Structure 1
Amino acid sequence: MIDRREISFVRRSAQDPCDQDGLAALLAAYHLQTQAEKGAAVADADRLPERYRAEVLDPDSAFADDVVLVALNGDAAVGCVVVTAPADGQCEVKRLWTVPELRGKGIASGLVTAALSHAAEIGVERVRLSVWQWRTDAIALYERLGFTATESWDGRSRLVCMERAV
């Protein structure tokens, strides 16, 4: 049994490739699940749309201007979140993922809390995110952490946009 105290939350460094495979696996799982939920399932990461496949194949390049936070259980990557580079006093949280077998252990909330701490450290005023409306557990988590629904900045239907002050 995993206890949240056994999980560490770290800022991923491109200079330390030890978790490259773990992060790639987390991103692949995130994108494969999302494609399936959108009704466009693909068999493997090689069949993902190009923009998502690029994140899986080379996270360092895909998120070169962003900060990637990883939850580790020992040396194993068990969760991730990306905090985009600040623009106009805000940043965005995206790609929040926790391995399914460890959900409910506080890993996702720990990652979002770490993302909010990072945003505060760099002087960001607001953090925003978007989440598919069918991801009700994620929406509930974001609401517990102070995010509220806001007018959409994204034209895709069934996408809920949320934000909160830092």
Structure 2
Amino acid sequence: MTDQHGVSVVRRPGGTLSDEDGLATLLAAYHLRTEAEKGRAVADVDGLPDRYRAEISDPRTAFADDVVLVALSGGAPVGCLVVTAPADGRSEIKRLWTAPEFRGRGIASDLLGAALAHAAESGAGAVRLSVWKWRTGAVALYERFGFTVTESWDDRDQLVCMERSV
């Protein structure tokens, strides 16, 4: 657990998630914003693709083999990040999100630092991630943490794939 500026980052194995951890709300905000940025805004969670709705409705199952980091401020969830278990020597970072009203406080950096530490402890030799090209702030954050653009493993247009050694 880290604690900076009144925010703590807690590590939860995916299979131990509960309805009270606030992850579903954070994931819903993440996916709704992403769809809007892609030009496919939907009114609510029911309009999201099935795989995203599954994460929101049952994060315990969706991330059963992963570790979820949740940033808390005063006990309230304000950010999240998912780290997959290492496969072929690599972990993957997914779903980095900070509630808009909490941005600019280093929460994403805290989550990312905790994710890299977890990946190293788990035996991963590298960590990869994908990010939408238009999320320039996120790309810059990843670059500050040593991630570099790598060959894409995902054929979605405007998706940038990045990786770094642990």
- TM (normalized to structure 2)? 0.94
Cross-structure match for 2:72: 72
Cross-structure match for 1:115: 115
**CA distance, structure 2, for counterparts of residue 108 and residue 67 of structure 1:** 16
Is the Cα–Cα contact under 8 Å of residues 93 and 128 in structure 2 kept in the other structure?
Answer: yes
Please give the per-residue CA displacement for 1:8-51, whole angstroms capped at 9, x wherever unaligned: 0001254462634x110000000000000011110001211000
Is the Cα–Cα contact under 8 Å of residues 4 and 105 in structure 1 kept in the other structure?
Answer: no
Please give the per-residue CA displacement for 1:80-131, whole angstroms capped at 9, x wherever unaligned: 0000111000010000000001111000010000000000101100000000
Is the Cα–Cα contact under 8 Å of residues 18 and 60 in structure 2 kept in the other structure?
Answer: no
Gaps of 5+ in 1: none
Is the Cα–Cα contact under 8 Å of residues 70 and 81 in structure 1 kept in the other structure?
Answer: yes
Cross-structure match for 1:158: 158
Please give the per-residue CA displacement for 1:36-74, whole angstroms capped at 9, x wherever unaligned: 001111000121100000000000000001110000012
1:17 matched to 2:5 = no
Q: Percent identity?
A: 69
**CA distance, structure 2, for counterparts of residue 65 and residue 112 of structure 1:** 19
Cross-structure match for 2:144: 144
Please give the per-residue CA displacement for 1:119-160, whole angstroms capped at 9, x wherever unaligned: 010110000000000000000000001100011010111000
One-letter identity of the residue aligned with 1:71 = A
RMSD: 1.4
Gaps of 5+ in 2: none
**CA distance, structure 2, for counterparts of residue 114 and residue 19 of structure 1:** 22
- TM (normalized to structure 1)? 0.94
Compare 8-17 and 83-92 and name the one that shifted more: 8-17
